[in-house]
Amino acid sequence: MNELTKLENSLARMPREIIDKIIFYTHSCQPQCLIEDIKHINMVKQDLTIMYRNYWDYEYNDWLINDIISYANNYNATMYGYVDKFYNIFLRHICLENILQVDQYIIYLGRKEVMSQINIFLGLLTIEERNEFLKNTIEDFNTY
């Protein structure tokens, strides 16, 4: 079964009110900068996934999130706490307004699936930060 068929089957089981809300969002234009950011996230995620899967095999997502967290914390061990860069990244989240909320959210995030954690981190990073992380990762992998 292809992805379009799966999507159609899922939509067929949803209440009409939900379908109407989804359709509303499919017809509203999104800012070009948001579209470019989403494309960039997907491109970087794909590149990182390939690199980490080739290097780490089965545990690649665990290593990837570990390295993203390390990057966000300026390569400082999180056991010693979070640095300003880390908090500033999470304060971009629309629902987080202060450091206490970020600390609570990090605990919540730690209970989510690793892939969700990766998606959230990559989504909060800017294009420049994603590029820097990807560049650092490529350099690290090339030294081993």
**SS3 per-residue string spanning the chain:** CCHHHHHHHHHHCCCHHHHHHHHHHHHCCCCHHHHHHHHHHHHHHHHHHHHHHHHHHHHHHHHHHHHHHHHHCCCCCHHHCCCHHHHHHHCCCCCCCCHHHHHHHHHHHHCCCHHHHHHHHHHHCCHHHHHHHHHHHHHHHHHC
**One domain for residues 43 and 95:** yes
68 and 10 housed in the same domain: no
Q: What percentage of the chain exceeds 70 in pLDDT?
A: 98
One domain for residues 92 and 38: yes
Mark whether 74 and 129 lie in a shared domain: yes
What CA–CA distance (Å, rounded) separates 106 from 110? 6
The domain tally of the chain equals: 2
pLDDT tens per residue, range 88-143: 999 999 999 999 999 999 999 999 999 999 999 999 999 999 999 999 999 998 88
Chain centroid to CA 96:
16
Neighbours of 50 (CB within 10 A): 11
Structural domain of residue 92, as residue ranges? 31-143
Give the per-residue pLDDT at 62.
96
Shared-domain flag, residues 139 and 93: yes
For residues 18 and 64, membership in a common domain is answered with no
Residues 39 and 20 in one domain: no
